[in-house]
C-alpha cells in the first residue's frame, strides 16, 4: 500500500494526486466564486423542484415540508463529505477520482460512468420538461420542435470557452434566484392577506389534514426531494476550472445548500398552503398553478418563463458536468482517447457532443411515451444519482481514515468521527428502497440494478484488456 503524505499520494491502486492533475491538465481555471455558486444553483434548481416536486406533494400532502427537511439533512452531510475531499483534491473528475484513489479503481469507473449516464438521461428529462412549459403558451406547437431547438442552442453555448459558459450560467441562475425570492414574498402575502384576500392555513389542515397519507407518505416523498437536491455535487466537478479552489469551494458549497434549503422548503410550504395538495399534478408546474388559482394570469405567465429558464439552466449545467466527467474518464484511460481532447478554447467538445445523446433520445421518448416521458426519464436517471451520493459517503469514510496519517491533515468540515457519512448512507439506502413503493419511480430499481451489473462487467473487461496490453508492452520492452 502506498504511504499517504500531506502531498496527497494515496491508494493501493497507485493513483496519486499529482498524477491525476497531470493527466487532466489543459482545463482553464476561469470560474470565480460567484460563478461557482450560481452554477451549482443552476444545476440543482431545475425541474426537480418546479415540476417533479408534484410527485412528492401527491405522496406526502402538506407534509412534503418534512420530506424536504429530511432530504436537506442528507444533503448537508454530503456537502461536508464532498467539501473536505474537493479542497484536498480539486480536479475535474471530482468524486469519481476520489473513489478511484481511496476505495478501488472499480468504484471510480462505476461512479463516473453511472453519473454520466444518469445525467445524460436527466438532461433528456429536462428538455422534455422545457417543452411542457412552452406548451403553456403554444399548445399547438409540437413538443419535438422545442426539444430540438433548445438542445442545439445549449450545445453551442457549452462548446464555447468555460469563461463564457460561467457568465451565461450566472445570469441564467440569477433569474431563478430573484424570481423565487419574489415568489416567497408574494406567496407569504397571499397566505397572510397582505394586499390579497387572506388564504390562511385552510389548505394545510383541510383535504385530509397536514399528513393525509401519514408518515409513510412523508417518507416516500423524500425520494423526490433527494432528486431535487441532486446537482449540489456540480460544485466539486467545477473545481478543476475554479480560481483559488481552497477558499472558493467550501464557500460555494455552503452558500448553495443554504439557499437551496430556503428555496425548496419555503417554496413548497407556500405551494401547499395556496394550492390544495390533491389538485397538484404533473401537467404543469405547481408553482405556476399557485398564480393561476389566485387569479394573477400575468404572474402565471412570468412564473412559467422562470421555470422554463430553470430547466434550460439545469440542462446547461448538466452538459458542462457530463463533458468534464467523460473527459476525466478518457484522461484516466477508461474511455477512448478522443474524448479527452480539448478545443483551442480549452473545452472538451468531443465529450460534449457524445454527452448530448440524452437530449436527442428525448425526442423519441417524448414521441412514444408523451404522457409519461418526463417521469420515465427521471426515474431511469435516479439510481445513478443515488449511487454516486452513496459512494461519496463511502469514499469519505476511507478518506478520513487515510488522511488521519497525513503530516498536515486536510480541512475538516464534517463533525468529528464517521457518523455524518454513516447517517447519510443509511438515509440514502432507505430512500432507494422506498422508490419501489412509488409507482412513478419503480423504474429506478428496474433499470438501475441491471445497469450496475452491466457497468461492473464492463470494468472487468476493461481491466483484463488493459492488463493484456501492459503485459504485451512489457514483453516487447524486454
pLDDT tens-digit series, residues 68-96 = 999 999 998 998 898 888 888 877 667 88
Rounded to two decimals, the pTM is: 0.80
Model pLDDT, residue 475: 44
**Model confidence at 9, in pLDDT bands (50, 70, 90)?**
very low
- Render 168-222 in DSSP notation, one character per residue: HHHHHHHHHHHHHHHHHHHHHHHHHTSSS---TTHHHHSTT-S-TTHHHHHHHHH
Helix (H, G, I), strand (E, B) or coil at 260: helix
Query: Nearest-CA neighbor of 128 among 461, 365, 317, 326?
Result: 365
323 or 304: whose pLDDT is higher? 323
**Model confidence at 478, in pLDDT bands (50, 70, 90)?**
very low
Average pLDDT over the chain, rounded to an integer: 78
Model pLDDT, residue 4: 41
Rounded to whole angstroms, the Cα distance separating 397 from 408 reads: 18
Q: Which of 210-219, 227-236, 438-447 has the highest mean pLDDT?
A: 210-219
**Model confidence at 380, in pLDDT bands (50, 70, 90)?**
low
Rg (CA), the chain: 22
**Percent of the chain topping pLDDT 90:** 10
pLDDT tens for residues 276-321?
888 776 556 667 777 676 677 677 777 778 778 878 887 888 888 8
Determine the length of the chain: 478
Q: Is the pLDDT of residue 191 over 50?
A: yes
Rounded to whole angstroms, the Cα distance separating 233 from 236 reads: 6
Centre a 10 Å sphere on the Cβ of residue 182 and count the other Cβ atoms it contains.
Answer: 14
156 or 172: whose pLDDT is higher? 156
Model pLDDT, residue 12: 40
**Model confidence at 395, in pLDDT bands (50, 70, 90)?**
very high
**Model confidence at 13, in pLDDT bands (50, 70, 90)?**
very low
pLDDT tens for residues 354-366?
888 877 777 776 6
**Mean pLDDT value across residues 239-246:** 64
The CA-to-CA distance between both ends of the chain, in Å, stands at 27
Amino acid at each position: 500500500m502506498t504511504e499517504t503524505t500531506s502531498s496527497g499520494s494515496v491508494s493501493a491502486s497507485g493513483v496519486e494526486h499529482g498524477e491525476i492533475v497531470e493527466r487532466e491538465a489543459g482545463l482553464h481555471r476561469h470560474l470565480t466564486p460567484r460563478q461557482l455558486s450560481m452554477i451549482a444553483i443552476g444545476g440543482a434548481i431545475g425541474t426537480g423542484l418546479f415540476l417533479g416536486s408534484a410527485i412528492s406533494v401527491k405522496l406526502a400532502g402538506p407534509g412534503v415540508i418534512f420530506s424536504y427537511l429530511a432530504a436537506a439533512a442528507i444533503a448537508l452531510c454530503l456537502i461536508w463529505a464532498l467539501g473536505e475531499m474537493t479542497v484536498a483534491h480539486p480536479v475535474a473528475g471530482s468524486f469519481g477520482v476520489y473513489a478511484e484513489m481511496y476505495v478501488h479503481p472499480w468504484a471510480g469507473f462505476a461512479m463516473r460512468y453511472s453519473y454520466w449516464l444518469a445525467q445524460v438521461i436527466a438532461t433528456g428529462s429536462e428538455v422534455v420538461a422545457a417543452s411542457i412549459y412552452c406548451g403553456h403558451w403554444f399548445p399547438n406547437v409540437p413538443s419535438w420542435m422545442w426539444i430540438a431547438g433548445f438542445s442545439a442552442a445549449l450545445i453551442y453555448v457549452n462548446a464555447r470557452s468555460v469563461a463564457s459558459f460561467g457568465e451565461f450560467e450566472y445570469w441564467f441562475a440569477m433569474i431563478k434566484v430573484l424570481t423565487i425570492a419574489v415568489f416567497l414574498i408574494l406567496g407569504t402575502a397571499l397566505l397572510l392577506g397582505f394586499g390579497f384576500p387572506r388564504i390562511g392555513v385552510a389548505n394545510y389542515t383541510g383535504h385530509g389534514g397536514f399528513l393525509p397519507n401519514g408518515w409513510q407518505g412523508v417518507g416516500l416523498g423524500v425520494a423526490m426531494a433527494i432528486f431535487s437536491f441532486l446537482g449540489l455535487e456540480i460544485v466539486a466537478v467545477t473545481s478543476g476550472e475554479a480560481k483559488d479552489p481552497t477558499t472558493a469551494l467550501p464557500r460555494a458549497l455552503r452558500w448553495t445548500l443554504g439557499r437551496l434549503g430556503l428555496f425548496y422548503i419555503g417554496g413548497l410550504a407556500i405551494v401547499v398552503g395556496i394550492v390544495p395538495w390533491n389538485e397538484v399534478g404533473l401537467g404543469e408546474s405547481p408553482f405556476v398553478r399557485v398564480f393561476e388559482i389566485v387569479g394573477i394570469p400575468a404572474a402565471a405567465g412570468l412564473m412559467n418563463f422562470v421555470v422554463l429558464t430553470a430547466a434550460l439552466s439545469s440542462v446547461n449545467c448538466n452538459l458542462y458536468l457530463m463533458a468534464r466527467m467523460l473527459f476525466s474518464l478518457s484522461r484516466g484511460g477508461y474511455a477512448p482517447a478522443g474524448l479527452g481532447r480539448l478545443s483551442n478554447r480549452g473545452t472538451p467538445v468531443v465529450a460534449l457532443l457524445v454527452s448530448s445523446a440524452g437530449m436527442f433520445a428525448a425526442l423519441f421518448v417524448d414521441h412514444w411515451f408523451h404522457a409519461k416521458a418526463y417521469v420515465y426519464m427521471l426515474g431511469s436517471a435516479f439510481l445513478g444519482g443515488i449511487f454516486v451520493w452513496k459512494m461519496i459517503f463511502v469514499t469519505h469514510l476511507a478518506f478520513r481514515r487515510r488522511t488521519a496519517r497525513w503530516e498536515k491533515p486536510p480541512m475538516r468540515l464534517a463533525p468529528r468521527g464517521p457518523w455524518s457519512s454513516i447517517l447519510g448512507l443509511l438515509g440514502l439506502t432507505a430512500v432507494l428502497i422506498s422508490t419501489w413503493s412509488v409507482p412513478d419511480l419503480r423504474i429506478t430499481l428496474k433499470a438501475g440494478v441491471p445497469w450496475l451489473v452491466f457497468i461492473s462487467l464492463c470494468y472487468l473487461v476493461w481491466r483484463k484488456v488493459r492488463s493484456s496490453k501492459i503485459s504485451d508492452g512489457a514483453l516487447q520492452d524486454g
